């Protein structure tokens, strides 16, 4: 370790690692006696207050660090509210949580301190994602208790020009106050701190004696986490703190100015000369049209240029990689960052005469952006845009899971700013249709007289379904994929045997991906005496209703339109006949939903044929107001009932006796 590294480490430790001394606010006797929430009388608990301090400063010779301290005081009203005493504090990447302190205050004023030995560091998995958390259980929590805790989070050596502040929690909050120390640096003068509120009305208080800006939001309702809700920052109350040079107001003025600024930031890196033109012509040799030319350029950038931003590149190797000054460096070295490779694609496309530019756009996994939200923060990703035949076509150059001209669902149907030095444009990216986002499923099965079902399954995924599968399975092997398949089937069937699992994915991302397997499910059909009760829709068996709650707090949001085409053939057991078999009725809620089922029987071969088709959504975002939730739930309940339609098979001797 060098002297400088050691000195910086010592300074950082001195400035940021000193433990906090617990300074608990006095407890109001009225709060100890409180019997119900002031914000929501039906709440199980309420935060009497949340205090969040945020500081990012250059101190001495150390790098800027973002430090957040939070202090929460909760009042418990019911037995269910006691569950909030089990606290989980998530953190990510290089973040560090320290100085966790807490205590429980009983209605009689007695206090039980949080034992340091009961604080644990864990990794939790939810919906396939792993999250690191600090977890602890507040001591001796009772109905009527007040619990309070505080902690410090060191978010690392970085300067946040954009700081989203979460206002809502899983419980109502009487008052949440943010203390923000505006950015400062001995070398840089930052723009004035500004803020944008979403769903709330902050009160701006006087600046504190040590320079903290103060924002207070009162009477904050609880956020109810429900399936198929809007993205996080479209569903919740929050505030964006930001520092930007662009002070233009008005929808057109702001984005026009930003589009010009971004163009000037990157355009000097795009170098087109004779060498690049010759290379581009060589790459597209033999292409019959513009689409083929662009796809050949895309293939070159993905296969010939190494992306040093990828996770599997060792940190040491990445650190040793020289910075590319422009696209000539990237092509000469045959490697670069994600940004470098996108710019190389732009240079090659421009060399062929295409109008190709950077497109800054919004990833709607986090929020649904509208141009009225005037901050660069909301254009949180970028792709390349090429004008083909008067229409902009978008390319995610370094994502091998995507065919040319297609984006991930998170970037479909969102606003994109096409940067230019004279006439920037704000356009909507195209969305795939329900027919393009398809699951095609085929089951060839046989049913035994004791109700066992056996046969071969084939599932193919197209469009965004295929992209998600490719991205999710990029670094997995067949054994891991088979285990995941088994886990999925375990959620549907209590007992089954799986063999011959196979997975296929063409190197061409325009083609579908799929899985095949052989399955045996004992007692799939229920046997009662000499009757069998069969659910012909194998692909729906074992699934519950999509919407189970009778009421809804949030709007409903589906990520993309989709379709399902299912074909099921079941060889019926000898000696059994269908008893007045009928197909469930069709459901039409056009133009959004179309659901049909047809059934037939090949008597000669004893084959039951079941076909199901579902199409949901069109080429627009699928957002449904919570007021129409009862109608939406009714549609899905009807489809669930139809999917679970049962057929009765009876033994032939019963049929004969009936005649």
To the nearest whole number, what is the mean pLDDT of the chain? Answer: 91
Give the tens place of pLDDT for each residue, 77-118: 999 999 999 999 999 878 899 999 999 999 999 999 999 999
Distance separating the N- and C-terminal Cα atoms of the chain: 95
**Predicted pLDDT of residue 462:** 97
**Predicted pLDDT of residue 656:** 46
Average pLDDT over residues 156-178: 91
Reference 148, options 62, 238, 259, 22; nearest CA is 22
**Residue 320: pLDDT band with limits 50, 70, 90:** low
**Predicted pLDDT of residue 247:** 66
Provide the percentage of residues in the chain whose pLDDT is more than 70.
92
What fold is seen in the domain 251-428? Answer: C8orf32 fold (3.10.620)
Which range in 127-136, 147-156, 302-311 is most confidently predicted, on average pLDDT? 147-156
Q: Confirm if 84 and 74 have CB atoms less than 8 A apart.
A: yes
Reference 616, options 414, 468, 433; nearest CA is 433
Report the phi/psi class of residue 133: left, alpha or beta, with left for phi > 0 and alpha for psi in -120 to 50.
Answer: beta
Reference 76, options 175, 177, 171; nearest CA is 171
Sheet strand arrangement including 65-76: 111-113, 96-105, 146-154, 65-76, 45-57, 173-184, 213-220, 203-205
**Predicted pLDDT of residue 317:** 54
**Predicted pLDDT of residue 2:** 38
| Distance, CA of 608 to CA of 568 (rounded, Å) | 8
* E strands in 496-637: 497-505, 513-521, 526-528, 531-534, 556-558, 562-571, 576-578, 587-589, 593-602, 607-616, 622-624
Q: Confirm if 228 and 363 have CB atoms less than 8 A apart.
A: no
Q: Confirm if 203 and 264 have CB atoms less than 8 A apart.
A: no
**Paired tokens of 501:** 């699992």
Angle at 61 between CA 59 and CA 67, to 5 degrees: 40
Average pLDDT over residues 348-364: 97
Parse the chain into domains and list their residue ranges.
17-242, 251-428, 438-657
Residues 6+ apart with CB under 8 A from 490: none
Q: Tokens 């296929």, residue?
A: 504
Average pLDDT over residues 396-410: 96
Give the tens place of pLDDT for each residue, 475-527: 999 999 999 999 999 999 999 999 999 999 999 999 999 999 999 999 999 99
**Paired tokens of 297:** 């350029």
Provide the percentage of residues in the chain whose pLDDT is more than 90.
82
| Distance, CA of 505 to CA of 515 (rounded, Å) | 9
**Paired tokens of 79:** 């037995």
Question: Looking at residue 618, what DSSP letter applies?
Answer: -
> Which residue would you say has higher pLDDT here, 459 or 5?
459
By CB neighbour count within 10 A (0-12 exposed, 13-18 middle, 19+ buried), where does 505 fall? middle
Average pLDDT over residues 336-351: 97
Beta pairing, strands 647-651 & 531-534:
antiparallel
**Predicted pLDDT of residue 591:** 87
Given the candidates 3.40.50.10950, 3.40.50.2300, 2.60.40.3140, 2.70.70.10, the CATH classification of the domain at 17-242 is 2.60.40.3140
**Residue 657: pLDDT band with limits 50, 70, 90:** very low
Question: Looking at residue 540, what DSSP letter applies?
Answer: G
Give the tens place of pLDDT for each residue, 550-577: 999 999 999 999 999 999 999 999 999 9
Q: Confirm if 206 and 177 have CB atoms less than 8 A apart.
A: no
Q: Is the pLDDT of residue 646 over 60?
A: yes
Q: Is the pLDDT of residue 6 over 50?
A: no
**Paired tokens of 357:** 């530019």
Reference 559, options 416, 427, 428, 412; nearest CA is 412
Beta pairing, strands 129-137 & 119-126:
antiparallel
Q: Is the pLDDT of residue 52 over 50?
A: yes
**Predicted pLDDT of residue 128:** 58
Angle at 321 between CA 315 and CA 323, to 5 degrees: 125
What fold is seen in the domain 438-657? Answer: Jelly Rolls (2.60.120)
Give the tens place of pLDDT for each residue, 275-317: 999 999 999 999 999 999 999 999 999 999 999 987 545 454 5
Give the tens place of pLDDT for each residue, 223-264: 999 999 999 999 999 999 999 987 666 657 899 999 999 999
**Predicted pLDDT of residue 71:** 98
**Predicted pLDDT of residue 231:** 96
**Predicted pLDDT of residue 22:** 60
Q: Is the pLDDT of residue 464 over 90?
A: yes
Residue 18's SS3 state is coil
> Which residue would you say has higher pLDDT here, 363 or 159?
363
């Amino acid at each position: 370790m060098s002297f400088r590294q050691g000195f910086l480490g010592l300074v950082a430790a001195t400035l940021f690692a000193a433990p906090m001394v617990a300074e608990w606010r006095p407890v109001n006797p009225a709060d100890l006696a409180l019997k119900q929430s002031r914000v929501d009388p039906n709440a199980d608990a309420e935060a009497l207050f949340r205090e969040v301090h945020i500081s990012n400063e250059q101190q001495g010779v150390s790098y800027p660090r973002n430090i957040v301290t939070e202090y929460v005081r909760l009042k418990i009203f019911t037995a269910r509210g006691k569950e909030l005493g089990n606290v989980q504090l998530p953190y990510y990447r290089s973040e560090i949580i320290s100085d966790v302190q807490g205590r429980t205050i009983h209605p009689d004023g007695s206090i039980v301190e949080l034992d340091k030995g009961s604080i644990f560091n864990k990794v939790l998995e939810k919906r396939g994602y792993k999250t690191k958390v600090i977890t602890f259980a507040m001591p001796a929590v009772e109905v009527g208790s007040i619990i309070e805790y505080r902690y410090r989070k060191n978010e690392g050596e970085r300067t946040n020009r954009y700081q989203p502040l979460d206002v809502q929690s899983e419980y109502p909050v009487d008052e949440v106050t943010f203390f923000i120390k505006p950015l400062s640096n001995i070398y840089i003068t930052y723009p004035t701190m500004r803020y944008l509120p979403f769903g709330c009305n902050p009160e701006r208080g006087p600046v504190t004696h040590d320079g903290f800006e103060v924002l207070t939001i009162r009477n904050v309702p609880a956020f109810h986490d429900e399936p198929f809700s809007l993205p996080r920052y479209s569903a919740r109350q929050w505030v964006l703190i930001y520092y930007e040079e662009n002070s233009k107001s008005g929808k057109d003025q702001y984005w026009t100015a930003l589009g010009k600024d971004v163009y000037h930031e990157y355009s000097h890196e795009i170098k087109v000369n004779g060498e690049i033109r010759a290379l581009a012509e060589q790459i597209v040799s033999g292409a019959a049209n513009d689409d083929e030319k662009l796809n050949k350029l895309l293939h070159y950038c993905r296969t010939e240029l190494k992306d040093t931003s990828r996770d599997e590149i060792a940190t040491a190797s990445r650190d040793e990689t020289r910075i590319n000054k422009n696209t000539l460096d990237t092509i000469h070295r045959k490697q670069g960052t994600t940004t470098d490779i996108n710019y190389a694609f732009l240079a090659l496309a421009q060399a062929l005469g295409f109008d190709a530019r950077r497109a800054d756009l919004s990833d709607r996994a986090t929020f649904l952006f509208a141009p009225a939200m005037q901050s660069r923060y909301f254009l949180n990703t970028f792709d390349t845009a090429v004008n083909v035949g008067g229409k902009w076509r978008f390319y995610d150059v370094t994502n091998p899971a995507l065919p040319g001209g297609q984006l991930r669902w998170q970037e479909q149907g969102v606003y994109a700013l096409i940067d230019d030095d004279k006439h920037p444009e704000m356009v909507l990216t195209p969305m795939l249709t329900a027919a393009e986002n398809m699951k095609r499923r085929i089951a060839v099965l046989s049913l035994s007289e004791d109700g066992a079902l056996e046969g071969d399954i084939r599932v193919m995924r197209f469009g965004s379904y295929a992209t998600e599968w490719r991205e999710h399975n990029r670094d997995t092997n067949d054994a891991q994929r088979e285990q995941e398949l088994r886990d999925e089937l375990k959620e549907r069937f209590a007992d089954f045997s799986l063999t011959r699992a196979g997975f296929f994915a063409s190197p061409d991302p325009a083609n579908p991906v799929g899985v095949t397997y052989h399955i045996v499910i004992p007692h799939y059909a229920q046997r009662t005496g000499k009757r069998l009760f069969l659910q012909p829709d194998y692909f729906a068996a074992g699934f519950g209703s999509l919407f189970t709650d009778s009421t809804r707090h949030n709007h409903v949001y589906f990520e993309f339109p989709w379709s399902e085409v299912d074909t099921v053939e079941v060889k019926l057991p000898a000696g059994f006949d269908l008893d007045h078999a009928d197909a469930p009725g069709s459901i039409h809620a056009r133009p959004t939903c179309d659901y049909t089922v047809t059934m037939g029987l090949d008597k000669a071969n004893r084959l039951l044929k079941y076909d199901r088709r579902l199409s949901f959504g069109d080429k627009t975002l699928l957002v449904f107001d919570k007021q129409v939730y009862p109608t939406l739930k009714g549609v899905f309940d009807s489809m669930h009932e139809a999917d679970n339609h049962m057929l009765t098979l009876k033994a032939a001797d019963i049929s004969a006796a009936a005649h």
